[in-house]
Chain A
């Protein structure tokens, strides 16, 4: 099982023989390349072309975040798995509006399914007042079928998320973490800051997995494609946000593992201190390693593999082999 490597402190990364070495004030850390899935850079990092060259050779993507924890971009090495056939299929499903609508709808429906799953968990734990939200989201889900434009799907998805995030207040009952409304760039309160940070991590996780497939991350279906930016990872992330990011946020706040002291205010709105960011990274990383039994495959697979298999399902849909049905959490 390959692992992600997180760089939180300031320092320098270099290629040393057949490893990477990260050096800072507290010493050197060797990173064996064969066990490396990807690298996350949060600290102020010095690197050179030799490092990038080796990362590319060893097929290791590097994701960069700025000082506040906002995603900057990724070093996405030269594709190593190229299939002209698959790219054509991907484009075909984008250019044909019926095919594109179908996939876009699947991503929204998959997201909504897993949102309901998260709500159900709390309803079963004496939060009956969430039932109204549950039914309202169910009702919105029913409208997906009638959508004829991707923009309509996006609007419904926005409505579902609004209802759902408002329900966080009922789940948490913690005035420090009241949701108010969704704010981005910059997020205006604690919970929005956590959501933004968690989402940007899941986007990069999916991007790292796309790198291991034949899919082109620049062609998405729900999030509008401008062929310059990665969008497919945003699409697929919708399915996993509720079960990986949202659950983690609710747990961390619920167990008081994150409190308002983990945040700072600055001109850019609310930002998370390193300790909080580290905790979120740790929790998501742990979750990606959790395994569940996969019936058809006949063995246990980790959530990270589940994400990759979701991309394989998408490939098979594009190939006309099997209709894409988004992953539904059962736990």
Chain B
């Protein structure tokens, strides 16, 4: 990674960082996973087929939001995931988005959406969350500016990870 190049921490990176630091490093260096991995395809497919009627994937500085609508004059942002297995991690990604919007003066409500399970969940941002996110953004920057990726460590996520073949080759 070029030292002069400014890295923007975005929601995706926050998500990966919480799953696996190595994955976050690889992603930030453009070393993207094998696109033919079944789970990668699944994610793309869910994206293409779900919540068609709502606006999706709106981009603003460093943010790509899956679902966006206005409800009683308030903005609602959502994050789409295949299953609730990654609930905690997705929640932090969503909180990151809410925080980023807040910094731009936009108050938003968050919703976690699980199209396969036909459920949704409300997400709120507390003062504690804001502090934690500030720290996390610093840690992520420290990580992506390292010249080498962290060594692979076997964790539960490896089983379905698109990077597995790369990490364990």
Contacts and interface: CB of A to CB of B under 8 A. Distances in A.
Contact of A59 (B35, B165, B166): B35
B30 A214 contact: yes
Contacts of A320: 147-148
Contact of B29 (A85, A301, A310): A85
Nearest to B154: A298
A83 interface: yes
Contacts of A308: 34, 165
Interface in B149-169: 149, 151, 164-166, 168-169
B169 A312 contact: yes
B1 interface: yes
A25 interface: no
Interface in B94-111: none
Contacts of B147: 320
A309 B31 CA distance: 14
Contacts of B168: 294, 296-298
Interface in A121-166: none
A86 interface: yes
B36 A82 contact: no
Contacts, number: 55
Interface size class of B (residues with CB under 8 A): 10 to 19
Instruction: Please tell me the size bucket of the interface on A.
Output: 20 to 34
Contacts of B166: 309, 312, 315-316
A218 B95 CA distance: 44
Interface in B12-37: 29-32, 34-36
B35 A85 contact: no
A85 B169 contact: no
A294 B167 CA distance: 13
A309 B32 CA distance: 14
Nearest to B159: A298
A96 interface: no
A215 to B, nearest CB: 11
A165 B168 CA distance: 35
A80 B168 CA distance: 23
Contacts of A294: 168
Given A297-B164, A320-B148, A81 B169 contact: no
A321 B148 contact: yes
Contact of A85 (B1, B34, B151): B1
Contacts of B151: 321
Of B32, B35, B169, chain A has the most CB atoms within 10 Å of the CB of B169
A319 B147 CA distance: 9
A175 interface: no
B165 A86 contact: no
Q: Across the A-B interface, give the 6 residue pairs with the lowest CB-CB distance, nearest first.
A: A83-B30, A309-B169, A312-B169, A296-B168, A297-B168, A312-B166
9 contacts: A2-B36, A85-B31, A86-B30, A298-B168, A308-B34, A309-B165, A310-B169, A316-B166, A321-B151
Given A81-B32, A296-B168, A320-B148, 4 more contacts: A85-B1, A214-B32, A312-B166, A320-B147
